[in-house]
Amino acid sequence: MNSLVLTVVLGVGLTFAVVFFGWSVSPRLPGNQQGYEPVQPIAYSHRLHAQELQIGCLYCHFGSEKSRHAGIPPANVCMNCHRFVIASLGAIRAEHEQADQQKRQPQTVVSPELRKLYEAMGLNQDRQPEPGRPSNPVAWVQVHKLPDFVYFDHRAHVNAGVECQRCHGPVETMERVRQVEDLSMGWCVNCHREVNQTGVAGKPVEASIDCDTCHF
Amino acid sequence: MAGRHPNHYWKSLQERGAWVKSPAEGEEKFSELLEFAPGQFARRDFLKAAGFTFLSAVLNGCQRAPVEKAIPYLVKPEEIIPGHAYFYASTCRGCSAGCGLLVKDRDGRPIKLEGNPEHPLSKGGLCAVGQASILGLYDSRRMLHPLRDGKESAWDEVDRNITGKLEEIRKNGGAVRFLSDSIASPTTLANLNAFLGGFPNARHIVYDPLSCSAIPDAYEHTHGMRLLPRFRFDRAEVVVSLDADFLGTWISPVEYTAGYQTARKLEANPPRFSYHVQLESRMSITGSKADERIRIAPQELGLVVTQLAALLASHAPIPFPIDGIQPPAVPRQALEKVAQRLWEAKGRSLVVCGSQDVSTQVLCNFINHLLESYGATIDLKFPSHQRQGNDRELQSLLEELREGKIAALFISGVNPVYDLPEGDQLAPLLRRVPLVVSLDGKPNETIELAHYVCPNHHYLESWGDQEPVSGVVSLLQPCMRPLGNTRALLESLAAWMGTPKPAYDILRENWQAKVFPRQTKESSFQVFWDHAVHDGFVELDKTPAISAQSFATSSIHPILSAPALEKGEFALVLYPKVGILDGRHAENPWLQELPDPITKVTWDNYACLSPATAAEMRVSEGDLVRLAAGDDPKALELPVVIQPGQHDQVVAVALGYGGKTTERFAGMGPRWLQGKSTVGETGRVGVSAAPWLQLADGGLQYWRAPVKLQSTGKHLALASTQTHHRIEIPQHLATPGTERRPVIQETPLQAYLDDVRSGKQWEEKQHQDLWPQDHSYTGHRWAMVIDLNACTGCSACVIACQAENNVPVVGKDEVRRRRIMHWIRMDRYYAGDDAEVAVAHQPMLCQHCENAPCETVCPVLATVHDAEGLNQQIYNRCVGTRYCSNNCPYKVRRFNWFDYPHEDRLENLAFNPDVTVRSRGVMEKCSFCVQRIQEAKIEAKRKGEPLRDGDLQTACQQSCPAGAIVFGDKNDGNSRVSQLLRSSRRYHVLEEINVRPSIGYLKLVRHRSEGQEGERRG
């Protein structure tokens, strides 16, 4: 009886060891999401909007200056432009050329990604609001997710002058948002320690390394 | 005994007994032995099973973190920033007092209630019931749909049926009665009168379950008008209360506490310190604050008032014949002293009486008339509307019900089948009424009998108004969309009048027509309305609402005799508890678990007996006694609680328990092998004492005599926290010099005034210290001062902290095991002998010690000190060794022994999102509301402004009606906390062990001087 139990225990332990080390060549700690680049419900491109079109981070992510949560912009912010901008210039030009060739009126081109946005907003085929039509807020996949016991506050960092790219990497170059840093506590505390000596953007800062700055 | 150790405070009778007897005899045990049932599992099998489970759990953990979605608004309201809290001004409807409220909204729903600091009555305070009332909004057992004969229905169907029936009734001239609690809302009253005006025989009948209807009745005799005055405790230098618990449960306790504290500001220049005499039969928190407390039996109250009136009349002098008066049990000398004090403070004194006997109240009016209180400390021109009950009309309604004369009965805000003495007889009477409509949303005894239930919104979902005292009109505004298909009372009435209209429109129109013209400050109604909604209230121009006649002395009838009680007979006193009141919030778990400020018992009601009576009957705490009265067949079986300071002939039982709404607590608390249920054999919490009330002499009477008590020999374990978490060392462990710890310190008034005159300030005592004092606090240094003199023990801070910090409720069994989770507790100490005790209340919370004993023993450094003076508790690091709690001398640390159930998703909406909800195995304690500190600091940085004193308040500080708790930055020399810390009254609890706490207490100030101990009145 005893040897059976021992065998089972050792067997399970061995399996566990194999699984753990075989998982990846460089095992990472659970919860480390560095490199996470999930598919989003709408293929929003930061490269297009932030780099090519030069829209500032705070235009959409206004919460980062005023609140703990930077937030993903509500759909009405997108609609500020996308009421009028319904497809890329290239696609519209292509349609016009085809229409010329085929001697017909050019049809309205709507980008398939934007169609997802309009459906979420509850707009009809002609992109007009229709009362009674169901709407569904866009369920973005959160990329930079800290554990629930961390109360990170964007306000303190943005108002101190920390630029977004310092923690989020070169987001303006990304077609799909990717987590660049590992966002571990050690990484946060190191930066806090550094900037207490060096300051941020030339200004001295008080970046507390007390535990209850983030854990309460 | 009392003379030798005047300042020796004790918490329980065993504790007191222990240091009176020799150590060998009266040894106090740490606790009664808790039962350990033989386990069903053998330990080894359990460990084997645990081992396998652990392995599989670890395997499952080796994965990517689960996918989380972030879902923003589709169209965000422009002014809302997600993550910000928005405050809306409203009015509390936890009771009828109408305190001003600021509702903290996050994500479009209320999560915390605060007092409105600008409100002229409550001045920013909010009592425990008000703080807890937010749970009523998220109550999953609330009725969210109209019901017809107990089945869910739709509004149009219900309206059609009701209006059809009402039409018939109108044609036949049937009697329509609207039975409600005090409605101080001008708009509701206007609409209700319009509704009832459409019937030939309709009346609005008001009763308060906690009735003070004898007071307006008395004013009708003496001043020709039925009114409840506004009592101005802030203007009174001498207060005499005849059995009125004005700081605890009487009419408007938050308002009266704020006023009472204004007259007791020792830090004012010059210091003010009123003199308060309390004559009562049981120990109330008002009695605990009194400078002079005289025990009287309830049947003698009339005699005492007559005697006092005669003494004052002799001062006047005016004739007041009391020949043949039976001498009351109170020594004449004591009453003479009281009369002398009152007379010296003529025009600045106030006498209030809690009796429901009209003659006694008339005599009280006479006393106030002699003392020239009218116009000074009693305001008749701007009376109160906080209790409007008319018990005589209630009696006639019951008469009509008995005779079957009622055609339609509407019930709103009251539970007569539960509240009234013959409630069980009321049920068949109500069934005979052709149309019974209930307008409440809580399932209770009365609603079951209604044909139609048209549930009103919760007050946090409603538009409404309230005029608690004449001239102050406050608004209620909805702080979230109604959760269900409920409908405002205003809208229901409008629908049944045939003119359906939204409540907002009805309110606005009424304000434009009736309220706006009563002021002259604003000329535009829109501007006036916007300001009113923003501020939460308006103060109207001071044209008196009432002009009462002058005093009619013909109405006075001295009371010359009182029924005598024979040996073995008792007077039963029925009283409301501070947390439970009349039982209207009995389904609120926070209030049920709140230890009563005097007895410290949770989750039960009981029979309070004085120590002498208990000794005579040979009963001890928890023994069941049976109450019976004469030929009355009903009997009441309750556990005994021994109450020092109670009159020997009185047995006191709390109202509000044993209601149907408490059946939900059957599964309260963690469910584990040895856990016991919170509810008793009856399936309910406590026992209803309402059948023992009497509706007689034109009023609800809250005492009756004679009753007989009989010990049953049975025992019920009470969940009392009175000996839990004691700071005193048990006698058998004390080293010489540590037997008594000066946890409560007091100083005579004269000594304090001398200190103020000489400019004496607090001096830091130097202690020997192993630790180098090398922590320099260069930034903020958070500290707190608690004024023991101001604290009344009302425990609003306890509930405020629970609401702010997501503190769980554990259930009765866990409380018995000393596992109550409140981060701040109210410790109550007695001093003196059994009969005459002085009481002290001390809020005890984490002291955030500089030399914290808990920080040095944590093996994983989950509790460390931060750079601003806080002792931090990091939940994610804690592994649950509990060494910190072991080492804490104040016993303020709380361990999560279980994952307390949070399965009710609606109730979880009340959580504060800024505070972690702790899981099993983690220690928690007061954090000085660090989430508020962080928020305030970051907002100040964002705005580029320095953090000002007063920007930041802890939850306990913000809620305290007496302003006893002050929190702030010690490094800011001008902050209030720094000023108070310089006071000569400052001391620290357990100063002598040199843990250097960040919380300073201000000593209690007693009116008597040293050496007057023996003069304690008998």
DSSP B274: -
Q: How many whole angstroms separate alpha carbon B186 and alpha carbon B1010?
A: 53
Burial state string for B478-502 with b = 16 or more CB within 10 A and e = fewer than 16: bbbebbeebbbbbbbbbbbbeeeee
* Whole-number percent of chain A with pLDDT over 90: 75
Q: How many whole angstroms separate alpha carbon B1007 and alpha carbon B1016?
A: 12
CA distance B130 to chain A (A): 26
* CB neighbour list of residue B945: distance below 8 Å, 6 or more residues apart: none
Confidence grade of residue B40 (pLDDT, cut at 50, 70, 90): low
Mean pLDDT across the stretch A1-20? 84
Confidence grade of residue B634 (pLDDT, cut at 50, 70, 90): confident
The predicted-structure confidence for A163-190, as pLDDT tens digits, reads as follows 999 999 999 999 999 999 999 999 999 9
Of B864, B826, B870, residue with least CA distance to B845:
B826
Which position has the token pair 């068949």? B428
| Alpha helices in B711-816, H assignment, sequence order | 749-758, 796-804, 812-816
Mean pLDDT across the stretch B949-977? 96
**If 0-12 CB within 10 Å is exposed, 13-18 middle and 19+ buried, where does residue B50 land?**
exposed
In this structure, the number of other CB atoms found within 10 A of the CB of residue B767 comes to 12
Nearest to A73 among B69, B72, B916 (CB): B72
The predicted-structure confidence for B858-912, as pLDDT tens digits, reads as follows 999 999 999 999 999 999 999 999 999 999 999 999 999 999 988 899 999 999 9
The neighbouring-strand residues paired with B179 are B205, B411
User: Which three-class secondary structure string do you get for A94-141?
Assistant: HHHHHHHHHCCCCCCCCCHHHHHHHHHHCECCCCCECCCCCCCCCCEE
Which of A79, A135, A154, A216 to mutate to probe the B interface, most B CBs <10 Å?
A216
The neighbouring-strand residues paired with B968 are B783
Which of A208, A211, A214 to mutate to probe the B interface, most B CBs <10 Å?
A211
Confidence grade of residue B773 (pLDDT, cut at 50, 70, 90): confident
Mean pLDDT across the stretch B359-377? 95
* Residue A25: pLDDT over 70: no
Helix (H, G, I), strand (E, B) or coil at B197: helix
CB < 8 Å to B59, chain A: 16, 19
* Whole-number percent of chain B with pLDDT over 90: 77
Contact between B74 and A122 using a beta-carbon 8 Å cutoff:
yes
Average pLDDT, chain B: 90
CB < 8 Å to A36, chain B: 64
Helix (H, G, I), strand (E, B) or coil at B173: coil
Nearest to A67 among B51, B82, B867 (CB): B82
CA distance B47 to chain A (A): 13
Residue-level pLDDT at B383:
94
CB < 8 Å to A206, chain B: 779
* Residue A198: pLDDT over 50: yes
Residue B58 touches partner A, C-beta closer than 8 Å? yes
Nearest CA in chain B to A161: B942
The predicted-structure confidence for B158-182, as pLDDT tens digits, reads as follows 999 999 999 999 999 999 999 999 9
Average pLDDT, chain A: 91
CB < 8 Å to B72, chain A: 71-75, 137-138, 140
Range name among B429-433, B564-568, B853-857 with the lowest pLDDT average: B564-568
B23 against B793, higher pLDDT: B793
Residue-level pLDDT at B967:
98
CB < 8 Å to B919, chain A: none
**Do the beta carbons of residue B576 and residue B407 sit within 8 Å?**
no
Residue B81 touches partner A, C-beta closer than 8 Å? yes
CA distance A23 to chain B (A): 9
Q: How many whole angstroms separate alpha carbon B702 and alpha carbon B244?
A: 12
To the nearest 10 degrees (0 to 180), the angle between helices B155-172 and B489-496 is 50
Helix (H, G, I), strand (E, B) or coil at A77: helix
* CB neighbour list of residue B883: distance below 8 Å, 6 or more residues apart: B857, B858, B859
* Residue B739: pLDDT over 90: no
Mean pLDDT across the stretch B517-530? 93
The predicted-structure confidence for B675-712, as pLDDT tens digits, reads as follows 899 998 889 999 999 999 999 888 999 999 899 999 99
Contact between A120 and B74 using a beta-carbon 8 Å cutoff:
yes
**Do the beta carbons of residue B994 and residue B1010 sit within 8 Å?**
no
* Residue B70: pLDDT over 70: yes
* Residue B439: pLDDT over 90: yes
Rg (CA), chain B: 29
Contact between B941 and A160 using a beta-carbon 8 Å cutoff:
yes
Which chain A residues in 29-88 lie under 8 Å from chain B, judged by CB atoms?
Answer: 30-31, 33, 36, 38, 62-63, 65-69, 71-77
The predicted-structure confidence for B965-999, as pLDDT tens digits, reads as follows 999 999 999 999 999 999 999 999 999 888 999 99
Nearest to A66 among B52, B81, B875 (CB): B81
According to DSSP, the β-strands at B782-787 and B999-1002 are parallel
For chain A, helix, strand, coil in percent to 5 are 45, 5, 50
* Omega before residue B270 within 30° of 0, cis: yes
Residue-level pLDDT at B27:
37
Nearest CA in chain B to A80: B75
The two tokens of residue B654 are 């709390």
**Do the beta carbons of residue B590 and residue B802 sit within 8 Å?**
yes
Residue-level pLDDT at B1018:
20
pTM summary value: 0.92
At residue B493, what are phi and psi to the nearest 5 degrees?
-60, -45
Contact between A74 and B864 using a beta-carbon 8 Å cutoff:
no
Mean pLDDT across the stretch B265-291? 93
The two tokens of residue A79 are 């609609």
**Do the beta carbons of residue B694 and residue B421 sit within 8 Å?**
yes
Residue B934 touches partner A, C-beta closer than 8 Å? yes
Residue B52 touches partner A, C-beta closer than 8 Å? yes
* Whole-number percent of chain B with pLDDT over 70: 94
The predicted-structure confidence for B3-25, as pLDDT tens digits, reads as follows 334 467 888 777 676 544 433 33
For chain B, the first-to-last Cα distance in angstroms comes to: 15
CB < 8 Å to B945, chain A: none
Nearest to B81 among A63, A210, A216 (CB): A63
Q: How many whole angstroms separate alpha carbon B820 and alpha carbon B725?
A: 10
Mean pLDDT across the stretch B416-431? 92
Burial state string for B606-620 with b = 16 or more CB within 10 A and e = fewer than 16: bbbbbbbbbeebebe
Residue-level pLDDT at B63:
57
Q: How many whole angstroms separate alpha carbon B472 and alpha carbon B118?
A: 12
* Residue B1016: pLDDT over 70: no
DSSP B780: -
B324 against B686, higher pLDDT: B686
Contact between B67 and A153 using a beta-carbon 8 Å cutoff:
no
**Do the beta carbons of residue B540 and residue B473 sit within 8 Å?**
yes
DSSP B627: E
Contact between A211 and B69 using a beta-carbon 8 Å cutoff:
no
CB < 8 Å to B67, chain A: 38, 141-142
Residue A211 touches partner B, C-beta closer than 8 Å? yes
Contact between A12 and B52 using a beta-carbon 8 Å cutoff:
yes
Which chain B residues in 487-546 lie under 8 Å from chain A, judged by CB atoms?
Answer: none
CB < 8 Å to A211, chain B: 864, 866, 872, 874, 877
Residue-level pLDDT at B3:
33
The two tokens of residue B916 are 């972690």
Helix (H, G, I), strand (E, B) or coil at B967: strand
Q: How many whole angstroms separate alpha carbon B570 and alpha carbon A82?
A: 81
Mean pLDDT across the stretch B511-515? 95
* CB neighbour list of residue B392: distance below 8 Å, 6 or more residues apart: B213, B217, B698, B699
Q: How many whole angstroms separate alpha carbon B424 and alpha carbon B984?
A: 58
Of B542, B535, B547, B536, residue with least CA distance to B518:
B542
Q: What angle do CA B520, B521, B523 make, to 5 degrees?
A: 75
* Alpha-carbon dihedral angle through residues B916, B921, B927, B929, given to the nearest 10 degrees: 20
B564 against B959, higher pLDDT: B959
Mean pLDDT across the stretch A140-154? 94
* One-letter identity of residue A22: G
Q: What angle do CA A47, A51, A56 make, to 5 degrees?
A: 115
DSSP B512: I
Helix (H, G, I), strand (E, B) or coil at B226: coil
Contact between B71 and A140 using a beta-carbon 8 Å cutoff:
yes
* Residue B34: pLDDT over 80: no
**Do the beta carbons of residue B125 and residue B800 sit within 8 Å?**
no
Residue B73 touches partner A, C-beta closer than 8 Å? yes
Nearest to A142 among B69, B82, B864 (CB): B69
DSSP B44: H
Residue-level pLDDT at B24:
39
Residue A151 touches partner B, C-beta closer than 8 Å? yes
Which position has the token pair 């983030």? A214
Mean pLDDT across the stretch B741-770? 87
User: Which three-class secondary structure string do you get for A169-189?
Assistant: CCHHHCCCCCCCCCCCHHHHH
Size of interface A-B (CB pairs under 8 A): 138
Nearest CA in chain B to A21: B62
The predicted-structure confidence for B812-825, as pLDDT tens digits, reads as follows 999 999 999 999 99
* Residue B542: pLDDT over 90: no
Confidence grade of residue B2 (pLDDT, cut at 50, 70, 90): very low
Residue A120 touches partner B, C-beta closer than 8 Å? yes
Of B2, B330, B7, residue with least CA distance to B1006:
B7
Residue-level pLDDT at B853:
95
Q: How many whole angstroms separate alpha carbon B16 and alpha carbon B635?
A: 34
**Do the beta carbons of residue B846 and residue B871 sit within 8 Å?**
yes
